Every structure is written in C-alpha cells, then in structure tokens.
Amino acid sequence: MIQITNATKAFDATTAVDGMTLSVADGTVLGLVGSNGGGKSTLLRMLAGVYRADSGELTIDGESIFDNPAVKGQCFFVPDFPFFYNSGTLQNTAALYRDVYPNWSDEAFAHYCGVFPIDPKQKIINMSKGMQRQAALILALSTQPRYLFLDEIFDGLDPVIRLTLKRILIERVSDLGMTVIIASHNLRELEDLCERICLMHQGRLVVEHDVFELKSEFRKVQIGFGQIPEGNIFEGINIVNLWQNGNVFNLTIKGGEEDFMPRLQALNPAFVSALPLTLEEVFVSELGGIGYDPQNLGQ
C-alpha cells in the first residue's frame, strides 16, 4: 500500500507538491490528472524515490521510499521523456536492468518484445517518440514491478498500441495485483482504465474519487423557456457552471437528478434534459469551481 502523508516538495520559490495526503491500495489503477504545473510529475518522482520530500512522508508498505533500494526495486517509473544512453538498445539495457531489478524476467522480456513491434538491436535514441515509449514499457514490464508509475505514457502511441497497453495493464493488475499510477492530460484514455482519479491543482489535492461515482455526481443540463421566470430561478440547486444563450441555459449541476429535476420541472420549462458528464467535463467543472477555467485565464 502507498501512503502519502502531508508531503511537500519545493524548487526554489515554487512549491510543486503542497501538503499532499493520499492512500493508494494495492491492485489499484489510479489516474493522476490536473492543470499544467499541478505537481503530477513531481509526485511521481517522489513515489519513485527520485526526489526526497522536503516535509511529510511517502511510504510503501510502511517503509520509506527514498534511499531504500529494497523498496525501489519493487517500483518502476517511466517519465514523460524516458532517458536512454546513446548506445542503448533493448538488448543491452535489459542486461543492465537484469542486475538491478530483483524481479527481472527474461521470459517477460521475450514476451513483450514480441508484443510491441520494436527491434531489440536498434539504438533507442534513433527511434520515434512513440517507439521510445514502447521500448520503455517493454523494460518496465519486464522488471515485473509491484508498483508502476507512468507519466504521459499515452503521448505518441498509436491507437492499436494504446489499446494493447491498456489490456496489458489490466491483466497485470488482475493477475498479479500490480498497482499503477498514471499521470496524464488525456482523460479519455484514463476513463476506461482507472478505477480512481486524483485531481491536483497547484500542488494540492482537489478531489480523489472513484471514477464511476465521480461522474455520477455531475450532470450537464440544458433547459429552455418560452419566457424566463423572474427571480433567482435556480436557487437551491448546486450549480457548478452556467452559460446562457437567450432563453436557453446550459448548466453543470452537482447532485443526483432525483434532487434537482423536480425543481427544474416546477419552473414549467419548454424543455429540459440531463446527461452524465465525461471525465474531461468533470475535470473542467472541478477546476472551474476553484477559479481555473477558460473564462478566467488571461484576466
């Protein structure tokens, strides 16, 4: 189990992670999303033992991560820009990892070399961005980590490889109980993969929730009137965002339809409809609620 307790990390005057507290149960796929500069990559580097927290604590199964080879040997981190030596190939990098990671599997390496279309003898730095990510994934999965941390891993992967990666991750979690944390701006890729989502903004945790329950908490509603009633017509309804176009209102409402639909129908609208939000729409709504939205940016 991963436990993050009031963890903070700053670089000069910039606080990248600010008092973060989060628990991640074993066998979980957690999506880490948020605004640019929200602290996602820094948090992953802290979990991988690359950065030491300035304050607070990060542990795996009760043991500190930083400067702990036994714990770090059970983890693997694939950064947004994976590093490879100029002469590095899959073959000679595998030989290095074999001596470093205690759970390294030659069988897994051979298997994933067959799954991903990568030449194991080709220099990795000469490959495309997407192929370099596939090379990093082959090596990561061959270490058979208990904890896998992925930063923008879908960037540069074609649709077939993205689906293949999702299938592999689901199998590893289901069969071996691997824990996966994925930082990504591509919420549509996370929507059908992650069980839980952690939303960060300015280094802080905004919300951490079950994906299905989080989406169920919000509805996008369109309501139109022949003549708009007078007064505060939406009083008592938990509206996150509102946009008006003439006599038509587009609302983002937090709450169940059983709570707000009777109130809306009591206004005698010409029409009213409610639909669930996508994860991306939830993301925009949550950040809009704390002042980070397109209407406020640049003002």
CATH of the domain at 265: 3.30.70
**Which residues lie below 8 Å from residue 128, measured CB to CB, with a gap of 6+?**
156
Phi, psi for 291 (deg, rounded to 5):
90, 5
Spatial CA neighbour of 184 closest among 68, 30, 23, 18: 30
Q: Which of 182, 213, 244 is the last residue of a domain?
A: 213
Tally of CA atoms within 13 A in the half-sphere of 191 that contains its CB: 12
What stretch of H or E contains 174?
Answer: helix 159-176
Task: Report yes or no on 294 lying in a domain.
Answer: no
- Answer yes or no: do 92 and 119 share one domain: yes
**Which residues lie below 8 Å from residue 146, measured CB to CB, with a gap of 6+?**
26, 74, 75, 177, 178, 179
Range of the domain at 264: 217-289
pTM of the model: 0.84
Task: Report yes or no on 119 lying in a domain.
Answer: yes
Render each residue's pLDDT in the chain as its tens digit; 299 residues.
999 999 999 999 999 999 999 999 999 999 999 888 889 999 999 999 999 999 999 999 999 999 999 999 999 999 999 999 999 999 999 999 999 999 999 999 999 999 998 999 999 999 999 999 999 999 999 999 999 999 999 998 999 999 999 999 999 999 989 999 999 988 888 888 999 999 898 899 988 888 888 778 889 999 999 999 999 999 999 998 899 999 999 999 988 899 999 999 999 999 999 998 888 877 777 766 555 554 544 44
- Answer yes or no: do 16 and 134 share one domain: yes
Report how far residue 181's alpha carbon sits from residue 290's, in angstroms, rounded to the nearest whole number. 25
- Answer yes or no: do 116 and 225 share one domain: no
- Answer yes or no: do 203 and 102 share one domain: yes
- Answer yes or no: do 270 and 130 share one domain: no
- Answer yes or no: do 90 and 133 share one domain: yes
- Answer yes or no: do 169 and 141 share one domain: yes
**Which residues lie below 8 Å from residue 247, measured CB to CB, with a gap of 6+?**
224, 225, 226, 227, 228, 270
Task: Report yes or no on 209 lying in a domain.
Answer: yes
- Answer yes or no: do 186 and 239 share one domain: no
Dihedral angle sign, alpha carbons of residues 198, 202, 203, 205: negative
Domain count, the chain: 2
